[in-house]
Amino acid sequence: MQSRYAETYAAWEQDPHGFWADAAGALDWFRPFDTAFDPQLGVYGQWFAGGETNTCHNCIDRHVLAGRGAQAALIYDSPMAGEKRRYSFAEMQREIEAVAAVLIGLGIGKGSRVILYMPMIPEALFSMLACARLGAIHSVVFGGFAAHELSTRIDDFEADLVIAASCGLEPGRIVAYKPLVDHAIEGARVKPRHCLVLQRPQYEAAMTPGRDVDFATLVEAEKAKGTRVPCTPVKATDPLYILYTSGTTGQPKGVIRDNGGHMVALRWSMEHIYGMKPGEVFWSASDIGWVVGHSYIVYAPLLAGNTTVVYEGKPVGTPDAGAFWRVIAEYDVKALFTAPTAFRAIRRDDPDGELIQQYDLSGLRALFLAGERADPETIKWAERMLAIPVIDHWWQTETGWAIAANPLGLGQLPVKYGSPTVPMPGYAIHVLDDEGHAVAPGTLGNIVIRLPLPPGNLVSFWNADERFRSGCLTEFAGYYKTADAGYVDEDGYVYIMARTDDIINCAGHRLSTGAMEEVCAMHPDVAECAVIGVADALKGQIPCGFLVLKNRATRTLQEIEHEVVSLVRNEIGPVAAFKTVMIVQRLPKTRSGKILRGTMQKIADGLPWKMPATIDDPAILDEIQGVMRERGFTLT
């Protein structure tokens, strides 16, 4: 089929407001919007101003009203808990209404702020959608983050309520979430009025009298009463959720997503990028704690009338590298979305795809990869093994949906390995040099997006308009800075090469090395430190710390290394995967005192590197290389 991409992109360029106004027609509005885009509102303008809607209505009630109530909306499959469940749209509506009724009883309403700290279980989605139903704003915190990170978010968000599960299940261990929540609330300045606790059979959490309430008991009571809770009309421009993401400091940024633009963009993407039809099963093997989970486990599939799979397990080890194939075959999954690291793990354990042969994957039409650079080897392996299109697409927590993709629903474009293909409608991608001048095709530069950002993108950072302006909109006037460097080739294909800030991608998880440095520096024996991301065959990148000790260090070097690793695990969380630290005499710096992290990274990755002209003392790089060699790094 000839791709309709070029004509669709041109239609958007010609009439950007009309394009999205048309897309909005696929959804229900309680009050029509006055204008598709109002440039006067917010930091850079806002979409669908004047409109009133409700995201939960569009995800659930709209389908029930249209007679699709009996269709499966959610399939829960947990090799961790040994459990499977299925909910139709009508059943899901009942569950969500019951949770919403409980929330009302706890004083939650329009504009209230609710933090969720829950694993991949249906109740997490019911809770998110119950918030949406009431116009309360949710903020989901990934379970791999430690108490301190949760505390920071409770404070910044000024949470009224925390909804938590008693535990999460990781291979070989039960992660007790509730004690982390208690610890986080203890350490927070803001004290949520209540904590709604879902007790899982694997771990029963202690309850704090007066504050903690039992999820299951209250929800069951509302279900028994048959309490109905209508969807609260909210403004299209009201926030639906806040998702905290790593910034360049330890203070995470709360990305604000609105209701109207978000639902319009996601609904559009399901049909045109992912090529999904209502009634089909879509599986995003991510976690609801990440943006991929928000957009493509929860909101987009439900908005588009698809069945979503909530999988509580890993690509390997639960029980083996055939786990994904089992799920696809069992539920007739039509499209799978995951991070390249998951496929690297599967390939490592089953290089010849023997487990793939054991399942009927004939229903699977495409594999979508995002979250980190998809290395061509992994893409080619997946193509060979599955014989379906393997589509790399590029986006960020800030954008909420793909900036560049190969839009299957519009007709697939030729694949160029190493490129997530072309800009999606809504995104005018430019590549600029550091002075803000456009560079020629094929030339590396800063990738920026011309304002306004399309629907579904962040509106601002929570309580931090100025941080949004200064961090993202000021350096290149009139553009949003993605903080990714790359280039666009002669055919308009985009290539994403590296971050321009301190963010690294470890196993598809976005982490700030700056935040890790802040934690390393808390150790009493550490005088100075640098954390860089080094290449890793499985996780893409892993963090690696270099520590300079104070003169009178009080412990042995091994003790200090061990303590710093534990400190990062306890402060940021196991998800930081911070396991390698090296003690060095000095850090390489420029004459103005800037640590040469880029050069250290090239050395650690075994890449060609040049002695920086501005280096203060070249001998330090020899010292660092000596330590790296001792630690088993292969250097050039």
Q: How far is CA 592 from the centre of its chain?
A: 36
Binding partner of residue 149 among ligand AMP, ligand COA, none, CB cut-off 5 to 8 Å per kind: none
Nearest distance from C-beta of residue 188 to ligand AMP, angstroms:
24
Contact (Cβ atoms closer than 8 angstroms) between residue 90 and residue 69: yes
Reported in sequence order, the residue ranges of 350-461 that DSSP labels E, i.e. its strands, are 366-369, 390-392, 404-405, 422-423, 429-432, 445-450
Contact call for residue 292 and ligand COA (CB under 6 A): yes
Q: Which of 105, 106, 128, 131 is nearest to 117 (CA)?
A: 128
Binding partner of residue 392 among ligand AMP, ligand COA, none, CB cut-off 5 to 8 Å per kind: ligand AMP
CB-nearer residue toward ligand COA: 191 or 579: 579
Q: Is the dihedral of CA 440, 442, 446, 449 positive or negative?
A: positive
Nearest distance from C-beta of residue 291 to ligand COA, angstroms:
8
Reported in sequence order, the residue ranges of 319-415 that DSSP labels E, i.e. its strands, are 333-338, 366-369, 390-392, 404-405
> Which residue in the set 19, 29, 282, 290 belongs to the binding site for ligand COA (CB under 6 A)?
290
User: From its phi and psi, is residue 586 left (phi > 0), alpha (psi between -120 and 50) or beta?
Assistant: beta
Binding partner of residue 505 among ligand COA, ligand AMP, none, CB cut-off 5 to 8 Å per kind: ligand AMP
Nearest distance from C-beta of residue 424 to ligand AMP, angstroms:
13
Contact call for residue 504 and ligand COA (CB under 6 A): no
Q: CA-to-CA distance for 37 and 12, rounded, in angstroms?
A: 14
CB-nearer residue toward ligand AMP: 371 or 545: 371
CB-nearer residue toward ligand COA: 205 or 339: 339
CB-nearer residue toward ligand AMP: 392 or 525: 392
Q: CA-to-CA distance for 369 and 337, rounded, in angstroms?
A: 6
Cβ density class 396-420: b for 16+ within 10 Å, e for less: bbbbbbbbbbbbbbbbbbebbeebb
Structure tokens at 108: 């939650």
Q: CA-to-CA distance for 415 and 209, rounded, in angstroms?
A: 58
Reduced to 3 states, what is the DSSP secondary structure of residue 277?
A: coil
Contact call for residue 345 and ligand COA (CB under 6 A): yes
> Which residue in the set 28, 91, 155, 170 belongs to the binding site for ligand COA (CB under 6 A)?
170
CB-nearer residue toward ligand AMP: 126 or 394: 394
Q: What angle do CA 204, 207, 210 make, to 5 degrees?
A: 160
Q: Which residues bind ligand AMP (CB under 6 A)?
A: 245, 291, 370-374, 392-397, 420, 484, 496, 499, 505, 510
H helices, E strands: number in the chain: 20, 31
Query: What is the size of the binding site for ligand COA (CB under 6 A)?
Result: 27
Reduced to 3 states, what is the DSSP secondary structure of residue 613?
A: coil
Contact (Cβ atoms closer than 8 angstroms) between residue 74 and residue 308: yes
Q: What distances in angstroms separate CA 31 from CA 92, 288, 303, 562, one per listed residue?
A: 25, 30, 18, 58
Contact call for residue 315 and ligand COA (CB under 6 A): yes
Nearest distance from C-beta of residue 339 to ligand COA, angstroms:
4
Q: Which residues pair with 338 in a beta bridge?
A: 369
Contact call for residue 243 and ligand COA (CB under 6 A): no
Task: State the pairing for strand pair 281-284/333-338.
Answer: parallel
Nearest distance from C-beta of residue 351 to ligand COA, angstroms:
16
Stretch in the footprint of ligand COA (CB under 6 A) among 132-140, 167-175, 195-203, 497-505: 167-175
CB-count exposure of residue 244 (10 Å: 0-12, 13-18, 19+)? buried
Stretch in the footprint of ligand COA (CB under 6 A) among 213-221, 285-293, 441-449, 599-607: 285-293
Amino acid occupying residue 25? G
> Which residue in the set 104, 174, 175, 190 belongs to the binding site for ligand COA (CB under 6 A)?
175
CB-nearer residue toward ligand AMP: 62 or 393: 393
Reduced to 3 states, what is the DSSP secondary structure of residue 457?
A: coil
Nearest distance from C-beta of residue 142 to ligand COA, angstroms:
6
Applying the rule CB under 6 A, the residues between 511 and 540 that interact with ligand COA are 539
CB-nearer residue toward ligand AMP: 353 or 400: 400
Binding partner of residue 320 among ligand COA, ligand AMP, none, CB cut-off 5 to 8 Å per kind: none
Contact (Cβ atoms closer than 8 angstroms) between residue 575 and residue 511: yes
> Which residue in the set 115, 236, 516, 575 belongs to the binding site for ligand COA (CB under 6 A)?
575
Contact call for residue 371 and ligand COA (CB under 6 A): yes
Applying the rule CB under 6 A, the residues between 577 and 596 that interact with ligand COA are 577
Nearest distance from C-beta of residue 583 to ligand AMP, angstroms:
30
Q: What distances in angstroms separate CA 386 from CA 1, 365, 374, 419, 526, one per listed residue?
A: 21, 9, 16, 20, 49
Cβ density class 570-579: b for 16+ within 10 Å, e for less: ebbbbbbbbe
Nearest distance from C-beta of residue 610 to ligand AMP, angstroms:
24
Contact call for residue 168 and ligand COA (CB under 6 A): yes
Nearest distance from C-beta of residue 310 to ligand COA, angstroms:
13
Contact call for residue 428 and ligand COA (CB under 6 A): no
Contact (Cβ atoms closer than 8 angstroms) between residue 222 and residue 101: yes
Nearest distance from C-beta of residue 307 to ligand COA, angstroms:
19
Nearest distance from C-beta of residue 312 to ligand COA, angstroms:
9
Contact call for residue 339 and ligand COA (CB under 6 A): yes
Stretch in the footprint of ligand COA (CB under 6 A) among 35-43, 274-282, 468-476, 574-582: 574-582
**Residue numbers of the site for ligand COA (CB under 6 A)?**
119, 143-144, 168, 170, 175, 286-287, 290, 292, 314-316, 338-339, 341-342, 345, 371, 506-509, 539, 574-575, 577
